[in-house]
């Protein structure tokens, strides 16, 4: 099993190209099931989750091809994938495929919307909380799908098609909004989605669906209105840049010092996190096509944060920010409101010398003068990269095990960091 070895102490300087967003690419790929025409997606990151979803889509009979590199492209600039769901031969997503990635459960929406039937295993994925699918199922039921649970599978049927309705989510859910949005595009009549997720990834999906012929208004607000259409067509669409990758590298620079330009990204996608970084002592400025991050000379200052749905501070940056706060000049409080079990990285950061106390949904981080390298174990995707950030400044050598978590969400991580001065390498086997 691969490991990553880091020798800390080097500042980061240079340019890091930001990849396409995994959390946008996955629902966009799933949306190809809504049409028999070809959907071409550009700027798709090369990640394990992308490969896993392609296997699931192939199981349905979806044809896909990956275009060769064009002039100026590299392994870090995304790929172009064409998906054609003209001849879907099966509407069952088996456990052995869905269990590896939670987002794959979302295939239930386009399958039942287009074909009237779907049988999808209950999902798996990172162990960062229960993350139930009840709100996703509720959305489909509101649209007229009959739902049954059979031996660990959700069976959704709508032989006469889905019918537009009002969907009121009791809490903000990105997955639920994705599912409701895709299903409503082919439902008869009007669907109103209230308390909808406002994340940029939802907007990206809506913009692609509109290109395919969907009638959607209000994406990016808490109320989305969808007028159902009888069919959708193919289109070409580029995946938005990854705001979580952007925030991760920004925090790495704030941690190590240095001067980095994050290219091909949008500051408005993570303004809350950039504001917090500014309070912590980083200089953040927009560039043409990206963001420049430098740490000022005053050290890292403690900042209290609370995770919230967009436009608040993202839960997917909580672990990375905690790593940064381990070196702050004082005590910070980090409150996690999205996932109830997303502090599993605390004990691994403690192995590097971090001083962190847990109290319910809050972590209190007492900044220390220095961290020391040690063997650590990744527990989930974002926890993995928090250990990388800590290892970049830890004295001596840090070895991170179970880095397959990293491969699910960060494209060419070691290459991007090494090119900017980090002493980091992957150990195979």
Give the chain's domains with CATH numbers.
3-19+241-427 (3.65.10.10), 22-238 (3.65.10.10)
DSSP bridge partners of 119: 92, 155
Provide the token pair at 338: 């999205």
Distance CA 374, CA 6 (A): 10
H or E segment at 236? strand 235-238
What single DSSP character describes residue 219? B
Distance CA 287, CA 14 (A): 14
Active site residues: 126
Task: Please name the residue that has the structure tokens 């560039």.
Answer: 287
What are the binding residues?
22-23, 102, 131-135, 316, 338
The per-residue pLDDT for 78 is 85
Sheet containing strand 215-217, edge to edge, reads: 166-168, 190-194, 223-227, 215-217
- CA nearest 4: which of 415, 278, 328? 415
Longest distance between any two alpha carbons in the chain, whole Å: 65
Task: Tell me the angle at which helices 134-142 and 108-115 cross, rounded to the nearest 10 degrees.
Answer: 20
Q: Which residues of the chain register pLDDT less than 70? A: 68-77, 124-132, 340-341
Provide the token pair at 92: 């069952």
Global pTM value: 0.95
CA distances from 23 to 14, 92, 273, 405 (A): 26, 23, 17, 15
**What is the tens place of the pLDDT at every residue in 114-149?**
999 999 998 754 443 444 688 999 999 999 999 999
The per-residue pLDDT for 125 is 44
């Amino acid at each position: 099993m691969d490991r990553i070895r880091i020798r800390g102490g080097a500042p980061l300087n240079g340019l890091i190209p930001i990849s396409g967003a995994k959390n946008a690419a996955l629902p966009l790929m799933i949306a190809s099931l809504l049409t028999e025409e070809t959907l071409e997606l550009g700027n798709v990151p090369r990640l394990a989750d992308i490969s896993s979803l392609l296997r699931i889509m192939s199981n349905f009979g979806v044809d896909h091809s990956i275009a060769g590199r064009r002039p100026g492209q590299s392994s870090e600039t995304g790929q172009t994938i064409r998906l054609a769901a003209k001849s879907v031969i099966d509407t069952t997503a088996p456990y052995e495929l869905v269990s590896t990635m939670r987002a794959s459960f979302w295939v239930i929406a386009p399958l039942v919307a287009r074909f009237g039937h779907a049988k999808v295993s209950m999902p798996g994925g990172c162990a960062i909380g229960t993350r139930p699918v009840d709100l996703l199922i509720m959305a489909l039921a509101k649209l007229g799908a009959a739902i049954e649970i059979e031996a660990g599978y959700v069976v959704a049927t709508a032989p006469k098609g889905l019918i537009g309705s009002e969907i009121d989510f009791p809490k903000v859910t990105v997955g639920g909004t994705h599912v409701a949005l895709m299903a409503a595009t082919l439902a008869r009549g009007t669907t109103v989605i209230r308390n909808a997720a406002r994340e940029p990834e939802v907007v990206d999906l809506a913009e692609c669906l509109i290109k395919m012929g969907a009638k959607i208004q209000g994406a990016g607000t808490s109320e989305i209105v969808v007028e159902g259409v009888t069919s959708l067509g193919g289109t070409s669409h580029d995946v938005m840049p990854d705001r979580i990758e952007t925030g991760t590298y920004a925090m790495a620079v704030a941690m190590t010092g240095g001067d980095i330009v994050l290219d091909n990204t949008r500051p408005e996608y993570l303004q809350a996190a950039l504001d917090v970084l500014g309070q912590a002592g980083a200089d953040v400025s927009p560039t043409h096509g990206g963001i420049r991050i430098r740490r000022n000379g005053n050290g890292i200052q403690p900042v209290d944060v609370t995770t919230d749905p967009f436009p608040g501070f993202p839960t997917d940056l909580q672990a990375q920010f905690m790593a940064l706060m381990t070196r702050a000049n004082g005590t910070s409080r980090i409150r996690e409101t999205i996932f109830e079990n997303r502090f599993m990285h605390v004990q691994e950061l403690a192995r590097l010398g971090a001083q962190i106390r847990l109290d319910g949904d809050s972590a209190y981080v007492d900044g220390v003068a220095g961290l020391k390298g040690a063997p650590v174990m990744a527990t989930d995707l974002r926890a993995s990269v928090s250990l990388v950030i800590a290892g970049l400044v830890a004295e001596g050598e840090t070895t991170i095990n179970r880095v397959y978590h990293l491969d699910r969400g960060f494209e060419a991580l070691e290459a991007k960091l090494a090119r900017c001065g980090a002493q980091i390498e992957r150990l195979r086997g």
